[in-house]
Amino acid sequence: MDFVENLDTDMSLAILYCLDDPSDLVRASAVSRSWRDFVIKYSLSKNLCLKLFHQLTSVDRIIDTSNDMKESFEAGSSSSLMDDTRVLEREHRVYALLAKGCTSSPIRSCIADAIIASSTDNFPAESILNTLDERDRIGGTPSYWSSTGHHKTSVPETLLYQLKGDLCVITELSVQPFQAYFQPGTPIYSSHYVRFRLGHLDNNEAETAGKIPVENKYVWTYTSQEFPMAQENRLQNFKLPEPVICIGGYMLVEFLGRVQTQEMDGLYYICVSHVKVMGRSLAKSFQVVDPDESGKFGLKVLSYSDPQEMDENEEEEISPFRPMRNLEQLLNFLHRHPLDVEYVWPESDDEEEEAESDGEV
């Protein structure tokens, strides 16, 4: 029996609402013409998408440029029955793709670049860029970000990052405090707590350039709880209650409360060797358009193709910060070693590890 045609609307909706996998709903819409019309008419793909990720309720218009026909429509609005059907069909297609991308596209590293730190003790040797590398030393050279020192433990610090795409589903956040193996007692400069904010550039930031701190030129649409941080030299994972969509492509890491003093000056510092964000980037399929302070934004469809894994050549491509990263390591090395020492850059990670194990620089 075809329950869509033989049962009342409420009962049919109750049955189809039990589908919580976007792919199952797409398959249901392909069963027959009547099923497809039912799924589209009652916006089941959109409702499932909003159920899975409530942040998407902020979409106020959809812009379709996928077929060289620029079309824009407000979500859920129309001017005639024909337009209404057309809008519903497009919404079904867009939200079906969006739901699939948010739940089944590959999980990868989502940080594209490091933007700025609230303070840096020894720039560029202790730059935020060092946190993009998983290692806490490269050869014999330390690799970490360090804040400036303070007498008060309550002074916070922040690190600002840009993500790979302005629509990312964040599934995992990790931070590794730095252990200063070159200082007496090998202290670990963690913070008491860490907090994460996700959001977008403020559209009015150009008007206030130079007047407010850089990190305040962003609108944060999501703020996590405060996670306690262990004073341990390991990559510490912080689990969100549920996956969160970053709308706008920026993340702020806040370090709250200082723990460790430096023996040489008695000041409190926060140092981090690595920050890692894992999730699903929808950069190839969607773009966020003109987000405002209320959180509303336009959703531009770039492609209706299924979200695919990043091409191998893209994954291996050297990121734009790498040349500067090497310069910072060189400056750091020259700062710590006599200029008459000849230094040869290792050609591979394996050579670095061999040199380190042999006690060589």
CA 58 – CA 262 distance, rounded (Å): 46
Predicted pLDDT at 5: 75
Q: Which amino acid is at 310?
A: M
CA 203 – CA 214 distance, rounded (Å): 13
Give pTM, 2 decimals: 0.79
CA 278 – CA 292 distance, rounded (Å): 26
Contact by Cβ (8 Å): 64, 86 = no
Beta-carbon count within 10 A of 328 CB: 20
Predicted pLDDT at 212: 52
| Paired strand residues for 109 | 278
For 322, how many CA atoms within 13 A lie in the half-sphere containing its CB? Answer: 5
Predicted pLDDT at 200: 93
User: Which homologous superfamily does the CATH classification assign to the domain defined by 108-283?
Assistant: Galactose-binding domain-like (2.60.120.260)
Long-range contacts of 330-335 (CB under 8 A, 24+ apart): 331/124, 331/125, 332/125, 332/126, 332/141, 332/142, 333/141, 333/361, 335/125
Per-residue pLDDT of the chain (361 residues; tens, 9 = 90+): 577 777 788 888 888 888 888 888 888 888 888 888 888 888 899 999 999 898 899 998 899 875 544 455 555 555 555 567 888 888 898 999 999 899 988 999 999 999 999 999 999 999 999 999 999 898 889 999 999 999 999 999 999 999 999 999 999 999 999 999 999 999 999 999 999 999 999 877 544 444 555 657 899 999 999 999 999 999 999 999 999 999 999 999 999 999 999 999 999 999 999 999 999 999 999 999 988 877 789 999 988 877 654 444 444 443 444 444 445 444 544 443 333 333 344 454 454 444 444 444 3
Predicted pLDDT at 334: 45
Delimit the domains of the chain by residue range.
3-70+79-104, 108-283
Predicted pLDDT at 69: 43
Ordered alpha helix ranges (H), the chain: 3-6, 9-16, 22-29, 33-41, 44-52, 81-104, 312-316, 322-336, 349-357
